[in-house]
Amino acid sequence: MDNLFVVSYDIMNPKRWHKVHRAMKGFGEPLQYSVFVCRLTDQNKVRMLSALENLIDSDVDRVMVVNLGPADGNASDRVTFLGRKEDLPDRKATIV
């Protein structure tokens, strides 16, 4: 079963930030500059974490991964937006 994740990151180097952003596009959809929503299986979550771990400088960069639970169509009930509302994507991850 797929779960929905919110991934947010602070990357201190612009070159590394671009690499992380490009990698994240293979796992989910951007909601903001450094915030993605990802629909992932357990296996794809491990792949994503491994890819990110290889791209970041763990001494200065930070990645936060929040599990919103099953991506069963009720995920929108677990996320609140203020201002312009974003529809949470319904697609599965595309690993690049």
Residue 86: pLDDT band with limits 50, 70, 90: low
Q: Is residue 54 part of a domain?
A: yes
Residue 94 pLDDT: 56
**How many domains, the chain?**
1
CATH at residue 58: 3.30.70.240
29 assigned to some structural domain: yes
Mean of the per-residue pLDDT values of the chain:
87
Q: Which DSSP string do the residues of 13-47 spell out, in sequence order?
A: SHHHHHHHHHHHTTTSEEEETTEEEEEE-HHHHHH
Whole domain around residue 21: which residue ranges?
Answer: 3-70
Domain assignment present for residue 91? The answer is no
In a domain, 75, yes or no: no
Query: Does residue 85 form part of some domain?
Result: no
Average pLDDT over residues 55-59: 96
Does the residue 51 lie in any domain?
A: yes
pTM of the complete model: 0.82
- All residues at 6 or more sequence positions from 9 whose CB lies less than 8 Å from its CB, including other chains: 20, 24, 34, 52, 56, 61, 62, 63, 64
